[in-house]
């Protein structure tokens, strides 16, 4: 047994409720264990217990026992635990210390005083094993999200830890990049590395898992063997609030009748020497949800930013509801919800956020109150938006979008990092906004989400 | 040496001293392959100086002439930082280790340089999102609501930065970064001819600045 947790509970300092309650779990060597469950179920906290960040970095009270390879994990320093356990975190932007790929990968070895020739040998070994040799010495900021996550895995594995812990590593990856991450994990598993992965997206893991641990409200609500997990029906997975292992694309591209809202004709966009969009024409209908898919870097976000007037096109025209509009005018007709809500919330309270830059007439205030009620946010109307969870922040933004009543609403990857239940709720919410006559564009690689809400798909060439 | 000269640049009194520092930064940028940056900065310096010359004859512009002087001063540290920002992080750490600079200072300096590109990316993201909500969308609205615009940039920026700092710190601590204990460097740091040239010219610059200062004071 590599890891043994017994009756473990944890409460963050300053929080009134325990985040983990009586967790008992054993992990055997060579296994790949999937940790899953709805947002806020405690799976991230559990990964933090494993790597020692709780309670050594995030303070709190704990009870119960934690053994790593027979030693008491609560008596070991972060550095010591780090020699047993390698970590990959969710957001590549904040886990990299270096600006350069090679420096990032050797960092854990430098900190442990490895000799130069050993570092060189390991670099070569992992470069070949994970297929990233050609990335060495590149600038980290220039890499795609998929490449960044591969570098993060290499940086965690070079000191050959017995256990690799990954916390939602696919949150920023498209379908192809997630599949590649799956292949990479398979390689590591063959080498005998024990892996624990906390994740909402399951499709890229279906071939790999040995066990699935489902959590709810800080407790383990079920442990399934590989066979049992894959045999669960769609309804059973929905009941657990999870996404599916094998989502099937259901919506096919068909032309549906309707009134055209957003029309983009022969859009060309160049930045420097690079042509990002060449002659793209595209229509979206009033009251319908159009999903825009395609691999990372294909130009999906660029196209939508041009539609919203956030980026300048080199040539081509954009019209909204039959009227040709210049860039600045489009800024006032579209609402764009970006990937990260942290950049988009400015006001001191949720209520003021929803009414930001809107006339505070009694009717508007009443409408805002109703909206918060509808979106399950009225309990938070006096709270600071930054103190809410990711899903709640997104709903606050949508409330603001509804208040503005703009004809076109664009969302960039609204379901990355959302569990099955919240993803389905988001689909319902978008449907009701579309029904009021708004034209909605959603950039997404989430097959289940597309199945749930899209009327049309625009697949990027 | 670079740090010393750029610090002294902020306290300079005479135009000649400023010019001396500029020449030194020139040597530094060209030695380490940033010729384009050197040319850009010289052009900007020249333009600002010319502007000052034009403004001498009018006294209606208030603090503008003073502003051009300050911008020229601030340019020097920017020039000093340029080659370091582009250098691989490992090289920076290796070089500072070799200079026997304490580990705590090395790490905080490295984190500072790591954050610069992050900050500018965050700033662009925030500005873009604001336009949709009609905050600071045009020059005119910025002028009309300067405080709202500034607050709406600073609040998300601080929230993002503190989050990033937290996560980054967790990520390096589990990878064994700590203040005590032994560590090694993958990058080699050697002192070569370029460093020698820099040290000699740096020392000369500081001596010359001191001399001109004394000369000016004597009248």
> Chain B residues with CB inside 8 Å of A148's CB?
none
Interchain contact A457–B (C-beta under 8 A):
no
Inter-chain contacts counted by CB atoms under 8 A, chains A and B:
155
Instruction: State residue A123's pLDDT score.
Output: 94
Q: What is the mean pLDDT of chain B?
A: 78
Q: Give the model's pLDDT for residue B195.
A: 79
Instruction: Output the pLDDT for position B217.
Output: 76
> Which of these, B24, B2, B21, B32, lies nearest to B194 by C-alpha position?
B32
pLDDT of residue A440: 96
Q: Which residue has the higher pLDDT, A257 or B128?
A: B128
From chain B, pick out residues whose CB is under 8 angstroms from the CB of A340: 125
In sequence order, the 6+-apart residues with CB closer than 8 A to the CB of A28 are A1, A2, A194
For residue A410, what is the nearest residue in chain B, using CA coordinates? B132
How big is the CA angle at A383 (ends B165 and A218), to the nearest 5 degrees? 70
Min Cα distance A404 → chain B (Å) is: 9
Q: B168 in contact with A at a CB cutoff of 8 Å?
A: yes
The size of chain B, in residues, is 219
Cis peptide before A374 (omega within 30 of 0): no
Beta carbons of A79 and B178 less than 8 Å apart? yes
Most trustworthy range by pLDDT among A319-328, B74-83, B193-202: A319-328
Strand order in the sheet with A3-12: A20-27, A3-12, A60-68, A71-72
Among the partner-chain residues B118, B160, B174, the one whose CB lies closest to the CB of A78 is B174
Contact list in A for residue B158 (CB cut-off 8 A) is: none
Taking residues B132-141, what's their average pLDDT?
74
Q: Which of B151, B38, B186, B49 is nearest to A110 (CA)?
A: B186
Higher pLDDT, residue B127 or B148: B127
**Higher confidence at residue A276 or residue B19?**
A276
Residue A88 to chain B, least CA–CA distance (Å):
8
Mutation target to probe the B interface, by most B beta carbons within 10 A, among A107, A118, A136, A304 is A107
Looking at residue B25, what is its pLDDT?
78
pLDDT recorded at residue B66:
72
Q: How far apart are CA A309 and CA A322, in angstroms?
A: 16
User: Looking at chain B, which residue has its C-alpha nearest residue A85?
Assistant: B174
Buried b (16+ CB within 10 A) or exposed e, B28-49: bbebbebeebbeebbeebeebe
Residue in chain B lying closest to A155 (CA): B175
CB A195 within 8 A of CB A138: no
Range A421-436 burial, b when 16+ CB lie within 10 A, else e = bbbbbbbebbeebbee
Q: Residue with structure tokens 């040496």?
A: B1
Query: What pLDDT, on a 0 to 100 scale, did the predictor assign at position A339?
Result: 84
Task: Give the Cα separation of B213 and B216 in Å (integer).
Answer: 5
Using 50, 70 and 90 to split pLDDT, how confident is the model at B219?
low
Q: Closest chain B residue to A387 measured between Cα atoms?
A: B159
The answer to whether the beta carbons of residues A205 and A179 sit under 8 Å apart is no
The reply to whether residue B130 touches residue A141, judged by beta carbons under 8 angstroms, is: no
Nearest to B135 among A108, A343, A346 (CB): A346
CA B210-B213-B219 angle, 5° bins? 145
pLDDT tens sequence for chain A (461 residues):
899 999 999 999 988 899 999 999 999 999 999 999 988 889 999 999 999 999 999 999 999 999 999 999 999 999 999 999 999 998 888 899 988 899 999 999 999 999 999 999 999 999 998 889 999 989 888 888 889 999 999 999 999 999 999 999 988 888 888 999 999 999 999 999 999 999 999 999 999 999 999 999 999 999 999 999 999 999 999 999 899 998 877 665 556 778 889 999 999 998 888 888 888 898 999 999 999 988 877 889 899 999 999 999 999 999 999 999 999 899 989 999 988 888 898 888 999 999 988 888 899 999 999 989 988 888 888 888 888 888 888 889 999 999 988 999 999 989 888 888 889 989 999 999 999 999 999 999 888 899 989 998 888 87
- In degrees, rounded to 5, the angle at the alpha carbon of residue A134 between the alpha carbons of residues A132 and A137 is 100
Q: Which residues of B touch A112 (CB under 8 A)?
A: 176, 183
Tell me which DSSP letter residue A139 carries: B
Query: Does A345 touch chain B if contact means CB atoms closer than 8 Å?
Result: yes
The architecture of the domain spanning A260-459 is 3-Layer(aba) Sandwich (3.40)
pLDDT recorded at residue B177: 85
Say which of A115, A305, A342 has its CB closest to residue B160: A342
Beta bridge partners of A105: none
> Could you say which of A111, A309, A345 has the minimum Cβ distance to residue B177?
A111
Contact B178 A116 (CB under 8 A): no
Strand pairing class (A274-285; A211-216): unpaired
Is residue A256 within 8 A of residue A424, CB to CB? The reply is no
Inform me whether the C-beta atom of residue A249 falls under 8 Å from chain B C-beta atoms.
Answer: no
Are residues A4 and A49 in contact, defined by beta-carbon separation less than 8 angstroms?
no
Whether residue B163 and residue A106 make contact (CB cut-off 8 A), yes or no, is no
Is the CB of residue A80 less than 8 Å away from at least one CB of chain B? no
Q: DSSP class of residue A16?
A: S
Bridge partners, residue A412, by sequence = A443
Length reported for chain A: 461
Chain A, nearest residue to B118 by Cα: A93
Q: Contact, A212 vs A34, CB < 8 A? A: yes
Q: Is B3 or A336 the better-scoring residue by pLDDT?
A: A336
Query: How far, rounded to the nearest angstrom, does the alpha carbon of residue A435 sit from its chain's CA centroid?
Result: 27
Q: Which of A100, A111, A338 sits opposite B89 (nearest CB)?
A: A100
Positive or negative torsion for Cα B112, B118, B124, B125 = negative
Q: Which of A51, A310, A345 sits opposite B174 (nearest CB)?
A: A51
Q: What is the mean pLDDT of residues B25-38?
A: 78
Task: With CB atoms and an 8 Å threshold, state whether A89 touches B171.
Answer: yes
> How far away is chain A from the Cα of B179, in angstroms, using its nearest Cα?
10
Asked if residues A414 and A337 have their Cβ atoms less than 8 Å apart, the reply is yes
Predicted-complex ipTM score: 0.85
Report yes or no: A354 at the B interface, CB cutoff 8 Å: no
- The candidate with the shortest Cα–Cα distance to A194, out of A232, A150, A242, A156, is A156
Would you state the pLDDT for residue B149? 78
Phi (first) and psi of residue B130, to 5 degrees: -65, -35
**Which residue among A89, A91, A310 places its CB closest to the CB of B131?**
A310
Q: Which CATH superfamily is domain A3-239 in?
A: P-loop containing nucleotide triphosphate hydrolases (3.40.50.300)
Substitution target from A99, A152, A168 for chain B, most B beta carbons within 10 A? A99
- Name the residue with tokens 């060495």: A136
**Rounded mean pLDDT of B129-155?**
78
Which H or E run contains A75?
none
Say yes or no: B213 contacts chain A, CB-CB below 8 A. no
* Every domain range in chain A assigned CATH 3.40.50.300: 3-239, 260-459
């Amino acid at each position: 047994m590599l890891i043994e947790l017994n009756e473990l509970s944890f409460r963050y300092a300053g929080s009134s409720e325990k985040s983990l309650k009586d967790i008992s779990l054993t992990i055997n060597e060579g296994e790949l264990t999937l940790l899953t469950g709805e947002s806020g179920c405690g799976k991230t906290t559990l990964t933090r217990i494993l790597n020692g960040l709780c309670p050594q970095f995030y303070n709190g009270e704990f009870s119960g026992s934690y053994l790593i390879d027979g030693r008491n994990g609560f008596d070991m320093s972060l550095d010591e635990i780090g020699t047993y356990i390698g970590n990959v975190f969710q957001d590549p932007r904040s886990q990299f210390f270096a600006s350069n790929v090679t420096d990032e990968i050797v960092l854990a070895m430098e900190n442990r005083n490895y000799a130069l020739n050993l570092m060189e040998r390991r670099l070569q070994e992992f470069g070949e094993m994970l297929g990233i040799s050609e990335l060495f010495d590149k600038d980290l900021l220039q890499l795609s999200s998929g490449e960044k996550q591969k570098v993060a895995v290499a940086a965690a594995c070079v000191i050959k830890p017995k256990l690799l812990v990954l916390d939602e590593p696919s949150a920023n990856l498209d379908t192809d990049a997630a599949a590649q991450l799956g292949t990479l994990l398979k390689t590591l598993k063959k080498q005998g590395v024990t892996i624990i992965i906390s994740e909402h997206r399951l499709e890229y893991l279906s071939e790999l898992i040995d066990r699935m641990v489902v959590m709810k409200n800080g407790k383990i609500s079920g442990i399934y063997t590989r066979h049992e997990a894959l045999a669960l029906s769609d309804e059973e997975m929905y009941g657990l609030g999870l996404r599916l292992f094998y989502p099937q694309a259901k919506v096919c591209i068909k032309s549906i009748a309707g009134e055209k809202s957003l029309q983009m004709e022969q859009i060309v966009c160049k930045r420097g020497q690079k042509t990002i969009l060449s002659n793209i024409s595209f229509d979206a209908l009033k009251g319908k949800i159009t999903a825009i898919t395609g691999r990372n870097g294909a130009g999906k976000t660029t196209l939508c930013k041009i539609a919203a007037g956030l980026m300048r096109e080199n040539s081509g025209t954009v019209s909204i509801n039959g009227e040709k509009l210049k860039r600045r005018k489009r800024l006032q007709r579209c609402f764009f919800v970006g990937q990260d809500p942290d950049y988009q919330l400015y006001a001191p309270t949720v209520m003021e956020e929803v009414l930001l830059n809107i006339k505070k007439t009694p009717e508007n205030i009443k409408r805002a109150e109703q909206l918060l009620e509808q979106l399950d946010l009225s309990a938070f109307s006096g709270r600071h938006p930054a103190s809410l969870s990711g899903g709640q922040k997104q709903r606050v933004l949508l409330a603001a979008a509804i208040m503005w009543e703009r004809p076109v609403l664009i969302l960039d990857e609204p379901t990355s990092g959302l569990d099955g239940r919240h993803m389905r709720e988001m689909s319902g919410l978008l449907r009701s906004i579309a029904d009021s006559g708004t034209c909605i564009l959603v950039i997404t690689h989430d097959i289940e989400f597309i199945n749930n809400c899209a009327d049309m798909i625009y697949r990027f060439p | 040496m670079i740090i010393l000269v750029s610090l002294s640049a902020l306290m300079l009194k005479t135009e000649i001293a400023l010019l001396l520092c500029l020449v030194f930064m020139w040597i530094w940028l060209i030695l380490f392959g940033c010729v384009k940056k050197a040319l850009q900065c010289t052009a900007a310096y020249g333009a600002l100086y010319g502007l000052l010359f034009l403004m001498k004859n009018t006294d209606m512009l208030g603090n503008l002439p003073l502003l051009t002087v300050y911008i020229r001063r601030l340019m020097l540290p920017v020039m000093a930082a340029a080659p370091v920002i582009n250098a691989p992080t490992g090289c920076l750490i290796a070089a500072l280790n070799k200079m026997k600079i304490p580990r705590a200072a090395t790490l905080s300096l490295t984190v500072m340089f790591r954050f610069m590109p992050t900050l500018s990316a965050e700033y662009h993201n925030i500005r873009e999102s604001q336009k949709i909500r009609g905050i600071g969308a045009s020059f005119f609205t910025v002028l009309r609501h300067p405080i709202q615009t500034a607050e709406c940039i600073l609040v998300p920026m601080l929230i993002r930065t503190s989050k990033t700092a937290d996560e980054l710190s967790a990520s390096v601590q589990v990878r064994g970064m700590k203040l005590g204990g032994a560590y090694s460097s993958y990058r080699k740091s050697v002192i070569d001819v370029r460093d020698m040239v820099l040290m000699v010219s740096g020392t000369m610059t500081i001596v010359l600045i001191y001399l001109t200062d004394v000369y000016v004071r004597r009248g």
